[in-house]
Amino acid sequence: MNGIKKILLGLLVILIIIQFVHPARNKSGQAMPNDISKMVAMPGDVQGILKKACYDCHSNNTNYPWYTYVQPMHWFMDYHIHSGKEELNFNEFGTYTPRRQQSKLRSIENSLKDGTMPLFSYTLIHRNAILSEAEKSLIINWVQNSKDILNKKNL
Ligand code: HEC
């Protein structure tokens, strides 16, 4: 066997072995007393958009597509879920300080205006997470309203 074949065979063995190593899935299935919808009304269309485009990385419940059953895709997705949730978790929004809530809402608005969210690597596969201008303005309007409502609540 020449060198290249040995390396390829080695890689194949590693690929097979890592198929058996999976991190715990991000699925809580529990009641969410601190969900953002408990603080501000969330119309169905807003929720639908956030669910399809943001919740996989910014909530406690990820909808895992088939390819995340293949390693190393699961690790890749898991890494994004982990860092995404750390920055912003819609299901834990009520645990944030009023100041942090305002700043997160502002970041959501900016991320949509700048097109930095959802992550580009995610929309490569999740084509329906690419938001139309109408969908973006719906979310932006809702975010602006929510900012006002929460501001008044915390006066
Ligand atoms: C594939 C995973 C993924 C998806 C889907 C996703 N995000 Fe993110 N998001 C992340 C990661 C990872 C970070 C943290 C690192 C970074 O900023 O790139 C982040 C950061 C953010 C931040 C920054 C928080 C801060 O305080 O600065 C906001 C706001 C945000 N995302 C909003 C959204 C919105 C709104 C959507 C849906 C339209 C969305 N994200 C979809 C992974 C994702």
Question: How does pLDDT run across 23-32, given as a tens digit for each residue?
Answer: 888 888 777 8
**Within its chain, how far is the Cα of 12 from the centroid?**
31
Q: How far apart are the CA of 118 and the centre of ligand 1, in A?
A: 6
pLDDT for res 68: 83
Share of the chain above pLDDT 90, in %: 75
Question: Best substitution site from 50, 57, 59, 128 to test ligand 1's pocket, by max atoms within 8 Å of Cβ?
Answer: 57
Question: Best substitution site from 26, 58, 127 to test ligand 1's pocket, by max atoms within 8 Å of Cβ?
Answer: 58
Question: How does pLDDT run across 79-136, given as a tens digit for each residue?
Answer: 999 999 999 999 999 999 999 999 999 999 999 999 999 999 999 989 999 999 999 9
**Omega within 30 of 0 (cis) for the link into 72:** yes
Contact 112, 140 (CB under 8 A): yes
